[in-house]
Each structure stands twice: as C-alpha cells, then as structure tokens.
Structure 1
C-alpha cells in the first residue's frame, strides 16, 4: 500500500513542517497528532513517519525554525552600525520584540515543559542562549562574566514571560521594554 500524496506533489519535510507549525500554533503539543497532520496533508500518517521518527522530532523541527529566526534577528541587530551601548539596547529589545510578537513560538522555545521534547528543546534553548552571549559579550566591559550575561538573558526572559498573553505584542509595552533594556545595559557596562 502506498501512501496518499497531495495531488500533483510529492510529500516533503517542508510540507509536513508547514502544516505542523500551524497545528502547534493553534493547539497545545498534546492536542496535535500525526494523524490530524496527515489528514490535512491528504496522506497516510505512515508517510509522515517516513520523514519524522515521532511527534517530538517533528515538533523539534518546527521549533528549530523559530530558533533560527531569532538567531538571524540577533545577528542582523549585531551587524547594525552604532556604539556598543546602542547595540546592547537593540539586542535586548530584539529579544523582547521577538518574544512578544511571537508569543506562542516563544512559549514553545523557552517555556513549555513536556517529557517528550524537553531534551531537544533544552538543547536548542542552550544553543540560542550561547549565540545571545556571543553577541553580547564583545559589547560589554572586558571583566564581565558569562554568568552576568546569563542573568541579563534571564531578566529579559522574565520580562517576556511576565507580558505573555497580557500584551498583544511588543508595541504595547515598548516604552517599559526600553527602560528595562537601559537598566540591564547599565548593569553590565
């Protein structure tokens, strides 16, 4: 028995990830099933297992894209012209903007805990933090410790989590976000 395929198309990882991304944004991790994704793609759920070992590996593929997007935003911010203090503020604002403009994604990346995906998500979050630290460290005083940068990251994370689902987006809190970024910048300069 061959898997059903979308008319005129070969089933690809990208097609599966696109549908899964929509499902994960609309429902919780537990509510999403491989069968529902397969139904939306008009294929057998076995065809999805050809590309992904299980729902956790599919979820991780989706979340990896979110981390890649955040990493790109931080890298682009770092490339901007400006003094170190200005760049630090922009990096801090970039993280807060991403978190509050992509609230569901941010929750999946940094907040959600689920036995099936914890190890994968923690690994990706650690890599993202490392990239954040690599961006921030050269802009700080020479004696700064990585633990100080981690504390800044956690302060930014706390700000985002505090405003998740209480603010529609970053624009609603941008003034206090800027004040928060300035405060954190002073703490590490």
Structure 2
C-alpha cells in the first residue's frame, strides 16, 4: 500500500494518473476500480471516496485532458504582443499536436470507441461556447488591428470551433485529419468582408 496522503488534490491527481494508465492498458469497459486501486497502491474505498464510480473516473480523466488544452489555448490567446495570424497558426498547430495524441489515445480504447467518442464529445460541447467566445475575441482583435478582414467574427469563430470538433471526432486517418485542419484554418483566414 502507498503512504497515506493528506493532500486531497494530490491524491486525486495520482488516482487520475493511475486510472489513465489502467484505461489505456485495459480499455474503459474492462478496467475496474479494483485495477485502478491496485495500480495506485490503495484500497478500493480510497478510489471511491474521491470518485463515486468508474464512470466518474472516466469523466474526470477526460475533463483533465480538456483543462490541459484550455490552459495551452489561453496562453496563446492572451499574448497580445504576438500578431493575431501568428497566434491563430499556433492555435491550429497546437490543435494538430494535441488532438493527434487524443486520437491515438482513443485508438487505445478501441473496444470502447463509441463510449469514448460520446464522452469526449460531451466534454467538447461543455467547452464549445467558451472556446467560441475566446476565438471571437481574437478574431475581433485581428479585425480592429487590420490584420484580418472578416465579415462576422462571431459566426466564423463558432463555425470554426464546430468544424474542428467535428474533424477531431471523425473516424479519419491522421493525414486526412491534418489536411482538414489546414482547410478549416484557411477558410477562417480567407473569408473576407
């Protein structure tokens, strides 16, 4: 058994790390709370104290991944000293890198592909409005600075975020995924007033 940890957040992070490892090895359906407890070196009750069920653990793992992406996006969006087009390029490069890993992880859950897709879509929908609002602000900044000439930054931000989410969830190969991301970015940047 592992040492007792009184820091609740640290323990929860360690449990999530162990859960992610077990999910990757066994898939969501085959993994059990007991497997995660064994990996973490704690009793089953410790896992269930922090996460009421395996389903809650699955959601927590996926939400943590989403938060990591949000932090990375925020770091680009708030860098006003960097030109808007360059920030957009960086955001799409980040999406390609991040979601390529997301797609590889989803492949590891092959037996549970539909369940994983459903859960990740739910997480993305939770973030849709926030990410749309942030991209809208960036596009409006680009219009004000003269870097971009867009008809409707808000509509274009919404359609862009929606398109990216759609491509991420599509069952397409890696090269097609990259090509579609590039196409979405080009459409965003070339839609003139």
Question: TM-score if structure 2 supplies the norm length?
Answer: 0.70
How far 1:20 moved relative to its partner? 0.2
Structure 1 match to 2:94 = 94
Q: Distance in 2 between matches of 1:181 and 1:128?
A: 19
Alignment of 1:1-150 (within 5 A): 5-6=1-2, 8-10=3-5, 12-80=11-79, 81-104=81-104, 113-114=114-115, 118=119, 122=122, 124-140=123-139, 144=152, 146-150=154-158
Q: How many residues align?
A: 175
**Unaligned ranges ≥5, structure 2:** 144-150
**Structure 2 residue matching 1:82: 3-state secondary structure:** coil
- Quote the Cα distance in structure 1 between the aligned partners of 2:49 and 2:180: 47
Find the residue that maps to 2:191 and give its secondary structure: helix
* In structure 2, C-alpha distance between the alignment counterparts of 1:136 and 1:82, rounded to whole Å: 15
Distance 2:96 2:171 in 1: 10
C-alpha distance 100-30 of structure 1, shift in aligned 2 (>3 A): same
Query: Which stretch has the larger CA shift, 40-49 or 30-39?
Result: 40-49
User: Which residue of structure 2 lines up, in the alignment, with residue 186 of structure 1?
Assistant: 190
1:52 to partner: Cα distance: 1.2
Q: Structure 1 regions of 5+ residues with no counterpart?
A: none
Point out 4+ residue stretches in structure 1 off by more than 6 angstroms. none
Task: Pick closer, same or farther for the CA change 1:76–1:156 going to 2, 3 Å.
Answer: same
| Contact 2:156/2:188, CA 8 A, preserved across alignment | no
The question of whether the paired residues in 1 share the 8 Å contact of 2:32 and 2:54 is answered with yes
Tell me the residue number matched to 1:156. 164
CA contact (8 A) 2:12 2:50 kept: yes
**Deviation of residue 29 (structure 1)?**
1.6
* Structure 1 vs Structure 2 CA RMSD: 3.6
In structure 1, C-alpha distance between the alignment counterparts of 2:20 and 2:64, rounded to whole Å: 10
Task: Please tell me whether the aligned partners of residues 96 and 160 of structure 1 are also in contact (alpha carbons under 8 angstroms).
Answer: no
Taking structure 1 as reference, are residues 30 and 106 closer, same or farther at Cα in structure 2, changes over 3 Å only? Answer: closer
| Greater helix fraction, Structure 1 or Structure 2 | 2
Alpha-carbon distance in structure 2 between the residues aligned to 1:47 and 1:34: 10
- Residue 125 of structure 1: CA displacement? 2.1
Provide the C-alpha distance between the structure 1 equivalents of 2:192 and 2:91, rounded to a whole number of angstroms.
13
